[in-house]
Amino acid sequence: MLADFSTKAANFIYVLIIANSLPVEQFGIYSYIIAFVELFSVLFDLGLNLGVIKQIASKTTTQFEFIKKAIILKLSSASIAFILILSISYILSNEKSTLFLLIIYIPGFTLRSLNMFFQSLAIAREKMKGMAVIKIVDNIALLSGLFIISFVSPSLENYVIYIAAEAGFISLIWLYVIYFSGKLKVSGKRETISIKDIVILSSPFFLLALFTNIYFRIDITMLKYMRGDEAVAFYNSGYKLFVVLLAVPWVINKVFLPRLIKDDSPKGDFIHRSFPIYVGLALILIPFLCVAVTIYSADILHILFGKRYIQGTGPLSIVIWSLPFCTLAAYLNNLLVMRSPKTLTLIAGLILVPMNIILNIPLISKYGASGAAASTVLTEAVGSLAGYLSCRKLGIYLPFPYRRSLIYIFIALIIVIIAMLKLNNILSIFPAFILYILIISFSSELRGLVRKVF
C-alpha cells in the first residue's frame, strides 16, 4: 500500500512540475506522447505481469525458463511496437520534434515495462518489502531529477531524456536484486517451457490490457489530431486530478473494506455484506466530493497548475462525475476477474472501447476537451451497469435495487447542486452534505446503505 501510494503521488507531482515549468502547448505535446505510447503498451506488457505470478505460484520448476523466455518475448514485441509507434506517428503528423521525443521516450518505457515484470516476480515470491523499497527509491529519484531540471534547464527534451535515463537506472537495480543479490534469485530444477505456453498463459490478460489501454488513452490521442496540443493540455490537467481522486475508491477497496468485513466470513456472506457498504460509500460520499470539485474546479486548477489552465475547468467539472461509476466498477470488476475474466474482456472490447470512440468523434468535434470528458462519463456509466448486470447473470448475488435507488440519488444530487450554487461558498459543502444524506435516508432502499456507512 505504501509503495502504491508513493507511486500515485509521484506520478501526479511530476506532472505538476512539468505543467508549471513548460508552455501549455509543450505540456500538451508531452501528454500526447505519454498517451500515444501507452496505446501500444500491451505490446510491452503482453499480459505477463499477472502471468508470471500465476506461473510461479503454480509450478516453481519452470521459473527460470519462463523468466528468460518472457524477457526475450517482451523485448521482441517492444521492438515491433517501437517501429509501429514511429511509423503511425509519422503518417499522422510528420512532426520531427515529436518523432525525436518518441525515439527517446520509447526505450525508457520499455525499461519501465521490464521493471513492472520484475516487481511482479518479487510479489509472486513474497518479497513485498524489497519491491516496495525499490519503488519508493524509484519515485524519489524520478521526482528529484525532474525538480532539479525545472530550476536548471526546464525543457520538454530534458524532461523526456531524464525520464528515460532514470528508468534505465532503476532497471540496473532490479537486475542486481533479481539475479545477483540472491534474495530473489530463481532456484530449483529447471524445466523447459515454450513460447507458445507463455502466450496461452498470458492471452486473457493480454486481451483485457489491450482494450483497457485503448479505452483510457484514446481520448488524448483523438484530441491531439482533432483539436490540437492546447486542448490536450487542458483536458489532461483535469484528467490527472481525476486520476488522483481515484485513490479514494482505491483506499476504500484496499484499506477500509477489509476492516469492515471479517476475514473469516464465507465468500457468499462477504459479497452480501460488503457490496451494500461499498455502494453506499460510492453513492453517498463520492458524489459529494464530485459536487465540491465541480463548483471549485477553477480554483483547484489555478492553485495546482496555474492561471494558464483555467480553460480546463469545463473538462474537469465533467470528467469528475466518472468517479462514482469508476468506484462501483472497481468492485464489480474484482468479482468478474475472479469468476469470469472473459466476461470482463467482452465488456471492455465490445462495449466500452467502441462506445468511447464513437462518442468521441462528434463530441470532440463540437465541444473539444469537454466533449472528451462527457464521453468518458457516459462510457463509465454504461460500463458500471454492464458489470452489474453481468454479475447478476453469473449468479453473483448483489443486494442492491439499482433502478429505484438511482432515481433517489439523482434527485438528491440536483437539489444539493442547486443549494451549493446558490450559497456559492466553501462552507456550503457541509450543510449540503447533510441535506444529501437526509434526502437519501428517506428512501427505504437506501436507508440501509446510509446506516452501514455511518
> Using 50, 70 and 90 to split pLDDT, how confident is the model at 184?
very low
The C-alpha cell that represents 453 in the structure block: 456507512
Is residue 148 domain-shared with residue 249, that is, in the same domain? no
Specify the higher pLDDT residue, 53 or 218.
218
pLDDT above 70: residue 374: yes
Domain containing 331 equals: 214-400
pLDDT of residue 68: 77
Integer Cα distance of 43 and 110 in angstroms: 10
Is 124 among the domain residues? yes
Is 406 among the domain residues? no
Q: Are 247 and 419 in contact (CB under 8 A)?
A: no
Is 454 among the domain residues? no
> Using 50, 70 and 90 to split pLDDT, how confident is the model at 134?
confident
| Average pLDDT rounded to a whole number, residues 292-299 | 84
Integer Cα distance of 379 and 375 in angstroms: 6
Domain stop point among 357, 379, 400: 400
Is residue 169 domain-shared with residue 91, that is, in the same domain? yes
Is 223 among the domain residues? yes
> Using 50, 70 and 90 to split pLDDT, how confident is the model at 272?
low
> Using 50, 70 and 90 to split pLDDT, how confident is the model at 165?
very high
Q: Are 139 and 147 in contact (CB under 8 A)?
A: no
Is residue 271 domain-shared with residue 137, that is, in the same domain? no
Specify the higher pLDDT residue, 203 or 39.
39
pLDDT of residue 148: 93
Specify the higher pLDDT residue, 255 or 319.
319
| Average pLDDT rounded to a whole number, residues 248-277 | 58
Integer Cα distance of 305 and 310 in angstroms: 9
> Using 50, 70 and 90 to split pLDDT, how confident is the model at 269?
low
pLDDT above 90: residue 162: yes
In order, the DSSP letters of 172-225 are: HHHHIIIIISSSS---S------HHHHHHHHHHHHHHHHHHHHHHHHHHHHHHH
Task: Write out pLDDT tens, residues 11-48.
Answer: 888 889 999 898 998 999 998 898 888 888 888 888 77
Is residue 219 domain-shared with residue 77, that is, in the same domain? no
Is 409 among the domain residues? no
> Using 50, 70 and 90 to split pLDDT, how confident is the model at 112?
confident
Range of weakest confidence among 141-145, 218-222, 252-256: 252-256
Is 81 among the domain residues? yes
Specify the higher pLDDT residue, 136 or 288.
136
pLDDT above 80: residue 262: no
Domain stop point among 193, 223, 253: 193
Is residue 58 domain-shared with residue 7, that is, in the same domain? yes
Q: What is the mean pLDDT of the chain?
A: 78
The C-alpha cell that represents 362 in the structure block: 462528434
CA angle (173, 176, 180) in 5-degree steps: 170
| Average pLDDT rounded to a whole number, residues 77-100 | 86
Range of weakest confidence among 11-15, 169-173, 181-185, 357-361: 181-185
Is residue 280 domain-shared with residue 349, that is, in the same domain? yes
Is residue 229 domain-shared with residue 348, that is, in the same domain? yes
Q: Which residues contact 276 (CB under 8 A, 6 or more apart)?
A: 399, 400, 448, 449, 452
Integer Cα distance of 22 and 27 in angstroms: 6
Is residue 60 domain-shared with residue 136, that is, in the same domain? yes
Specify the higher pLDDT residue, 212 or 302.
302
Dmax (CA) for the chain in angstroms is 71
pLDDT of residue 264: 46
Task: Write out pLDDT tens, residues 41-78.
Answer: 888 888 776 666 666 655 556 666 777 788 888 888 88
| Average pLDDT rounded to a whole number, residues 186-215 | 71
> Using 50, 70 and 90 to split pLDDT, how confident is the model at 288?
confident
Q: Which residues contact 271 (CB under 8 A, 6 or more apart)?
A: 335, 396, 397, 398
| Average pLDDT rounded to a whole number, residues 108-125 | 81
Is residue 255 domain-shared with residue 389, that is, in the same domain? yes
CB atoms within 10 A of CB 384: 23
The C-alpha cell that represents 155 in the structure block: 525543457
- pTM for the model: 0.77
Alpha helices in 40-127 (DSSP H): 41-45, 48-58, 63-92, 96-124
Is residue 120 domain-shared with residue 22, that is, in the same domain? yes
Is residue 245 domain-shared with residue 339, that is, in the same domain? yes
pLDDT of residue 44: 82
Query: What does the DSSP 8-state code read for residue 99?
Result: H
Q: Are 36 and 86 in contact (CB under 8 A)?
A: no
Is 356 among the domain residues? yes
Is 270 among the domain residues? yes
- For 311, 314, 317, 419, 437, the CA distances from 415, given in Å and listed in that order, are 27, 21, 17, 6, 12
According to the per-residue pLDDT averaged within each range, which of 208-217, 356-365, 428-437 is highest?
A: 356-365
Domain stop point among 382, 400, 418: 400
pLDDT above 70: residue 270: no
Task: Write out pLDDT tens, residues 377-434.
Answer: 888 888 888 888 888 788 776 666 555 666 666 677 677 666 666 665 555 666 666 7
Q: Are 353 and 214 in contact (CB under 8 A)?
A: yes
Specify the higher pLDDT residue, 331 or 154.
154
| Average pLDDT rounded to a whole number, residues 169-181 | 77
The C-alpha cell that represents 80 in the structure block: 515491433
Looking at the chain, the whole-number percentage of residues with pLDDT higher than 70 is 73
Residue 438 exposed, middle or buried by CB count within 10 Å (0-12, 13-18, 19+) = exposed
Residue carrying the nine cell digits 509519422: 90
Is residue 108 domain-shared with residue 255, that is, in the same domain? no
| Average pLDDT rounded to a whole number, residues 145-171 | 90
Q: How many domains does the chain have?
A: 2
Specify the higher pLDDT residue, 267 or 215.
215
Integer Cα distance of 91 and 27 in angstroms: 22
- For 23, 35, 113, the CA distances from 312, given in Å and listed in that order, are 15, 18, 31
